[in-house]
Each structure stands twice: as C-alpha cells, then as structure tokens.
Amino acid sequence: MVLSKKRARHVIEEIIALFPDAKPSLDFRNHFELLVAVMLSAQTTDAAVNKATPALFEAYPTPQDMATAGEADIAKHISRLGLYRNKAKFLKKCAQQLLDDFDGQVPQTRAELESLAGVGRKTANVVMSVGFGIPAFAVDTHVERICKHHDIVKKSATPLEVEKRVMEVLPPERWLPAHQAMIYFGRAICHPKNPECDHYPQLYNFKDI
C-alpha cells in the first residue's frame, strides 16, 4: 500500500533530517568534470570514480583534449571502472558533441544533455541540479530502493515513476536535498540486504498525519 502524499513527505523529510549536510560525493571542479564523473559513476561506486578522475582530468582537462584523445588512451585512465571501454567511447563522443553543438560548454536543459552520448535521464538530472541549481530529481539505485522499501511508490514502479512521485510529494527546493540524503541513507541504513530502518522510529511516526 502506497503512503499518502503527507506521509510520504514525512518519511523523506525525516531522511533529510538524518543527513542535513549531505553533499555530492563525486569530486569535480567544473561542469565538464561533473558531467564526466556522473557518466563514469554508472554501475560503479563514487569512491572508485574519485580514484580514477584526478589522472583523467589532468590528462584531458577540457572537452577539446578529450575529443582529440584516442579511445584506448581514455580507457587506460578508467580501466578499473565497470564498462570502461564503453565509457571511454561515450566520453570521447560526448566531448566532440560539446565542441560541435555547444561551443565546448555543458548545456543546461534536459533535452540538450540527453542528446549527448552516454547521458541518460539520471545523469542529466544530476548535472542540472548539482551543476546548475536547476530543480530536478535524479533516481539512482539507492533512491529507487528506499522509495519502494518505504512505500513511497509501489514495488513495481519504474525509475521515472519514482522521480515523478517524489517531485509530486516535495516542493522543488527539497528535491536536491532529498536526493543527496537518500544516497547517504541508502549507504548507511537502508541496505539492499538487512536494512536497519526500524532503528529510526521517527520515520514511521505518522500520528496526526
């Protein structure tokens, strides 16, 4: 049974309260580095990405540097990450698209971001919200698991349905804090196996809601 909007918001707000200072865990210094780091984070940990990106960004600090590099050379820098050959191909093509279509700048709209090689809706939402401060809600594995475990959405909900539900429940200014806090909550408490959410009864304090 899916929670009402008020109860769903209560759960999410309590998660935010547990991690009020949650920040992006990927390391980046500009929009291009953020885009690359988020692309690399698919099916691997942010910690692993952060180990690979310093040398990658030193070798290819701009889209032009990355676009002119060989795929094999890019791949060497990220070879410890999952799907690294595909990611190297996407990075090179994406960098070329930034030069050809956007004057070497990372675009700000979802449609333009999703036109880039290797960029899907989740990556676009992260870049929009974290990089540009544009309200968007990104759904990763932590967010999807938490929303299903806590009946914010039905168990069969798609990532897009999760995204729409959270955006419906929360005001836009809470979307980014919710995303960041849910990632921390998913890592520390709401594990895929043996979640420890029952240790936090405030999540379920629905009195008068």
Q: Which domain holds residue 153?
A: 5-23+137-203
> For 109-119, what is the mean pLDDT?
98
Verify that 127 and 145 share a domain, yes or no: no
Verify that 13 and 51 share a domain, yes or no: no
Number of separate domains in the chain: 2
Given a cut of 90, whether residue 13 has pLDDT beyond it is yes
Q: Is 140 a catalytic residue?
A: yes
Closest listed residue to residue 60, CA positions, set 92, 31, 106, 83: 92
Give the number of other CB atoms < 10 A from CB of residue 35: 27
Per-residue pLDDT of 139-171, as tens digits, reads 999 999 999 999 999 999 999 999 999 999 999
Catalytic residue, candidates 89, 92, 140, 151: 140
Closest listed residue to residue 136, CA positions, set 156, 111, 103, 101: 111
Verify that 84 and 37 share a domain, yes or no: yes
pLDDT the model gives residue 188: 96
Q: Is 103 a catalytic residue?
A: no
Verify that 74 and 166 share a domain, yes or no: no
Predicted confidence band of residue 99 (pLDDT cuts 50, 70, 90): very high
**Residue 3 has what DSSP assignment?**
P
Asked which of 132, 153, 175 is the last residue of a domain, the reply is 132
Asked which of 132, 157, 190 is the last residue of a domain, the reply is 132
> For 185-195, what is the mean pLDDT?
95
Per-residue pLDDT of 76-91, as tens digits, reads 999 999 999 999 999 9
Residue 209, in any domain of the structure: no
Verify that 93 and 49 share a domain, yes or no: yes
Given a cut of 90, whether residue 194 has pLDDT beyond it is yes
pLDDT the model gives residue 122: 96
Residue with the two structure tokens 């009402």: 4
Q: Which two tokens stand for residue 21?
A: 């200072």
pTM of the model: 0.94
Q: Which two tokens stand for residue 195?
A: 């979640």
Given a cut of 90, whether residue 208 has pLDDT beyond it is no
Verify that 42 and 105 share a domain, yes or no: yes
Mean pLDDT of the chain: 96
Verify that 48 and 65 share a domain, yes or no: yes
Closest listed residue to residue 25, CA positions, set 52, 3, 45: 45
> For 162-191, what is the mean pLDDT?
97
Give the number of other CB atoms < 10 A from CB of residue 204: 14
Catalytic residue, candidates 23, 101, 122, 148: 122
Asked which of 101, 132, 163 is the last residue of a domain, the reply is 132
Residue 48, in any domain of the structure: yes
